[in-house]
Amino acid sequence: VDEEREQSAFREVMQPWIERFSAESNQIEFLSGLKSGFYATVLRLRSGSMLAMTTDGVGTKILIAREAQRYESVGIDCVANNVNDLICTGAEPLILLDYIATDRIEEHVMEELARGLYLGAELANVTIAGGEIAQVGAMLAPAEGGSPMFDLVGSALGAFPLSEQGTMRDVVDGSKVEPGDVIVGLPSSGLHSNGYSLARRALFEIGEATLDAIVPGSNETVVNELLEPTRIYVAAVSALWQHGIEPHGLVNISGGGLLNLGRMAADVCYTLDSLPVEPPIYSLIRDSGGIGLPVMYATFNMGVGFCVVVSEKQANRTLAILQDAGEDASVLGKVVNRPGKEVWIPALSLLGQGERFELST
């Protein structure tokens, strides 16, 4: 499972260097960086402004986009992956820069990518403020089938807004999460950008699915399911802040699936007893590839794209505000008073910690 490793690889390899090079700047103070669970770098300038910055690509979903010659979706994803990470810190996204590595510049492909980026930007209320196109064909896989080969990476900047009283919003890192808190889930739109190496292997190498086949239990084709753009949760989370909800934790369910709950700072455990029914595309991936539930739940979002952890008292209002914002939000479970940052899914007997789920009987 390639994607499982991606998340931790940066930390494993770079951590010694990050620690060696201490940030000795009189301009900034880091509020993240060395904390491994953070979704973005958070820093405070000497002027008092607090900023968050992140970088993320789209990964091998691009290969599906190439095969289908439909590029808008990965443009949206490039924005989504970055802003959905940024908002987990409490920051509001401001701008995004994009980097495209490609073997050649083909107008209609670039046009579709640009359209996707700008659709994503509108949904995320950010500006695409610049970027770079690098023609590095010799570094990219041969472009079979006539479409250019490319990679697409974004980097986004956000800021912590000042309240009317002039105070700065606290950085959200999950340290306020407490036993009894409620875990509210927001539906995903397909796989988002995660698990595509495993999905492609399961569907097309081990299994015999085709892009045009109908996904059993759905009215959609495989390609439509796989190219569903990643849902952008900026407006939903903004609505919470605007209505005075103070989220204890904000969790983008990206690579690692619901195990991402364990990235929050509080040393507690999570019981998820009301997960959504497995969406049909995951049943097909699981059946085609003969993949066990532990790997499925450690790789894919399984229908939940984003989690908000709030106090029990604020749970009903949180649900109402999210529903008003157009999200079909539901309570997935609750925070329990046990150390270890385990994620427990009783209906499936799955117990997870770190990067793995295991069957617990």
* 138 is an interface residue for a second copy by CB under 8 A: yes
Q: How many CA atoms lie within 13 A of 228 on its CB side?
A: 17
**Start-to-end Cα distance in the chain:** 24
* 127 is an interface residue for a second copy by CB under 8 A: yes
* Site for a second copy, residues 47 to 66, rule: CB under 8 A: 47-49, 51, 53-57, 59-60, 62-63
Please select the residue that binds a second copy; options are 70, 99, 170, 246, rule is CB under 8 A. 99
Residue closer to a second copy by CB (options 218, 238) is 238
* Site for a second copy, residues 157 to 196, rule: CB under 8 A: 157, 159, 161-162
Residues near 140 by beta carbon (within 8 Å), at least 6 away in sequence: 101, 102, 103, 149, 150, 151
**What is the residue type of 327?**
E
* 120 is an interface residue for a second copy by CB under 8 A: no
Per-residue contact flags (x/-) with a second copy for residues 303 to 332, judged by CB under 8 A:
------------------------------
Least distance to a second copy, CB of residue 29, Å: 11
* Site for a second copy, residues 228 to 247, rule: CB under 8 A: none
Q: CA-CA distances (angstroms) from residue 11 to 27, 116, 283, 344?
A: 25, 30, 32, 25
* 108 is an interface residue for a second copy by CB under 8 A: no
Q: Which helix (H) or strand (E) holds 330?
A: strand 330-336
* 131 is an interface residue for a second copy by CB under 8 A: yes
Least distance to a second copy, CB of residue 299, Å: 13
- What is the edge-to-edge ordering of all strands in the sheet holding 50-57? 28-30, 41-45, 50-57, 150-159, 92-102, 127-135
Please select the residue that binds a second copy; options are 140, 206, 239, 336, rule is CB under 8 A. 140
Residues listed for the chain: 361
